[in-house]
């Protein structure tokens, strides 16, 4: 049974906010997640279940009868699940949240407050590991080659104590207005897993929507770690290729071709190190992405890449020091390419 807690009194923004949570076999998390969400006193909560086979929905319906539930007939993926939830939202403000999380007190209030001053904004919180002992991520780095990484991984939980403008928002948790979410078109339905938040960050950059880090809003997330196996490599690379096709196109890709070639060397090198499974994953990602229909975005490529990261933070990747040296060398190539492009 949910523990009895006195909800914190929400502000007008929190009361006019809807939290959307997409679940898939999250029975071990959903009860505590919803307890903490409801303790923050939002106006509405929507759970979108992607065809769970466990007791996730039974728990929600029996223990949290005021939570709105959308049941999918099949696993539609994280991004598409959020889009389905957003179609039902009537509140002015929306919060996207992973189910394997716990909100700290006043998290929603802190996360939403900046939206009262600037509605063309996405806010993202400080995301700690589930035990609260280190940082999971502070937004994400969003590199113009399509690569991305967590920011601040394993750093002290008291680090990153100042507000900041970021290039990428973490899909674990963020807030914006319903109007901005609809303007951006939400998540890309073609991206099933992992790169959905990266693509949304590119959308925000293309539309001049600022991503702001709010350190006073804190979320605990049961992050499994930064291990990158062949299965995850497939989704990451497929998503990266789709993003590049969508936002750069052939002409834009030609402008940053040296950087893209360097990135291919890096990613193929990593795939080869994973053995035959990694090579197959990389090859499948490319063939799948380039056979998928995408709708190009009309955007000034020079202006877009200037809003994205031009450096890959080598320290954020779980790799040997020698490979961090390779990334630093790649960063020199990236910087040179961008400096010539944006003269």
pLDDT, average across residues 159-188: 96
> pLDDT at position 335, please?
94
The helix or strand, by DSSP H or E, that contains position 32, with its residue range, turns out to be helix 27-39
Residue 9: predicted pLDDT: 45
**Cβ neighbours of 93 (radius 10 Å):** 29
Q: What pLDDT was estimated at residue 319?
A: 63
Better-predicted residue by pLDDT, 242 or 6: 242
DSSP of 155-166, one letter per residue?
Answer: --TT---S-EEE
Q: What is the predicted pLDDT for the residue at 2?
A: 43
Comparing 137-146, 219-228, 252-261, 266-275, the range with the smallest average pLDDT is 219-228
Q: What is the pLDDT of residue 1?
A: 40
Taking the C-alpha atoms of residue 197 and residue 184, their distance in angstroms, rounded to an integer, is: 12
Taking the chain, what is the end-to-end CA distance rounded to the nearest angstrom?
Answer: 61
Q: Which residues is 124 bridged to in the sheet?
A: 213
Per-residue confidence (pLDDT) for residue 71, from 0 to 100: 96
Rounded to an integer, the average pLDDT of 3-18 is 66
- Mean pLDDT of the region 2-29: 77
Tell me the pLDDT band of 11, cut-offs 50, 70 and 90. low
Residue 4's pLDDT is what? 42
pLDDT of 208 > 70? The answer is yes
Mean pLDDT of the chain: 92
What is the per-residue pLDDT for 325? 85
Distance separating alpha carbons of residues 129 and 136, to the nearest angstrom: 5
Q: Which residue has the higher pLDDT, 149 or 319?
A: 149
Please tell me the distance from the alpha carbon of residue 254 to that of residue 337, in angstroms, as a whole number: 11
- Please provide the DSSP assignment of 275-299 as one string: -HHHHHHHHHHHHHHHTS-------
Q: What is the pTM of this model?
A: 0.92
Instruction: Express each pLDDT in 303-325 by its tens digit.
Output: 999 999 999 987 766 666 677 78
Domains in the chain: ranges and CATH = 12-221 (3.90.550.10), 230-341 (no CATH)
3-state helix/strand/coil string of 78-94 = HHHHHHHHHCCCCCCEE
What is the mean pLDDT of the segment spanning 75-84? 96
Mean per-residue pLDDT for 19-41?
A: 97
**Which tens digits make up the pLDDT trace of 257-296?**
999 999 999 999 989 989 999 999 999 999 999 999 999 9
Q: What token pair was written down for 188?
A: 């890309």
Q: Say whether pLDDT at 115 is over 80.
A: yes
In terms of average pLDDT, the best of 226-235, 244-253, 313-322 is: 244-253
Q: How does DSSP assign 237-284, residue by residue?
A: HHHHHHHHHHHTHHHHHHHTHHHHHHHHHHHHHHHHHT-HHHHHHHHH
Distances (CA, A) of 1 to 4, 57, 101, 130, 187: 9, 15, 18, 21, 34
Share of the chain above pLDDT 90, in %: 85
pLDDT (0 to 100) of residue 342: 80
The pLDDT value given to residue 193? 87
The two three-digit tokens of residue 149, written as one number: 């990484």
Residue 131 has pLDDT above 70, yes or no: yes
State the average pLDDT over residues 151-176.
Answer: 95
Q: If you average pLDDT over residues 18-38, what whole number do you get?
A: 97
């Amino acid at each position: 049974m949910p523990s009895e807690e006195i909800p914190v009194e929400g502000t007008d923004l929190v009361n006019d906010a809807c939290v959307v949570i997409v679940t898939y076999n999250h029975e071990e998390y959903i009860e505590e997640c919803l307890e903490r969400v409801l303790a923050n006193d939002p106006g509405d909560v929507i759970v979108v279940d992607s065809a769970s086979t466990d007791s996730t929905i039974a728990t929600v319906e029996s223990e949290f009868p005021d939570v709105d539930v959308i049941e999918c007939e099949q696993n539609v993926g994280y991004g598409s699940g959020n889009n389905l939830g957003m179609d039902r939202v009537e509140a002015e403000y929306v919060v996207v949240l992973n189910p394997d999380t716990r909100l700290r007190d006043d998290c929603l209030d802190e996360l939403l407050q900046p939206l009262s001053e600037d509605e063309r904004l996405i806010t993202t919180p400080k995301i700690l590991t589930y035990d609260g002992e280190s940082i999971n991520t502070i937004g994400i780095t969003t590199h113009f080659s399509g690569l991305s990484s967590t920011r601040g991984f394993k750093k002290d939980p008291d680090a990153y104590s100042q507000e900041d403008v970021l290039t990428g928002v973490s899909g674990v948790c963020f807030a914006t207005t319903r109007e901005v979410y609809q303007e951006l078109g939400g998540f890309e339905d073609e991206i099933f897993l992992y790169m959905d938040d990266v693509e949304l960050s590119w959308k925000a950059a293309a539309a001049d929507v600022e991503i702001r880090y709010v350190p006073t809003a804190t979320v605990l997330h049961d992050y499994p770690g930064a291990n990158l196996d062949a299965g995850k490599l497939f989704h990451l690379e497929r998503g990266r290729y789709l993003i590049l096709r969508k936002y750069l196109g052939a002409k834009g890709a030609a402008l940053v071709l040296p950087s893209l070639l360097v990135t291919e060397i890096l990613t193929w090198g990593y795939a080869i190190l994973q053995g035959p499974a990694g090579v197959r994953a990389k090859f499948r990602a490319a063939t799948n992405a380039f056979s998928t229909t995408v709708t190009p975005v009309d955007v000034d490529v020079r202006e877009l890449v200037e809003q994205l990261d031009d450096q890959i933070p080598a320290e954020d990747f779980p790799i040997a020091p020698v490979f961090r040296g390779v990334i630093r060398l790649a960063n020199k190539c990236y910087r040179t390419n961008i400096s010539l492009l944006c003269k």
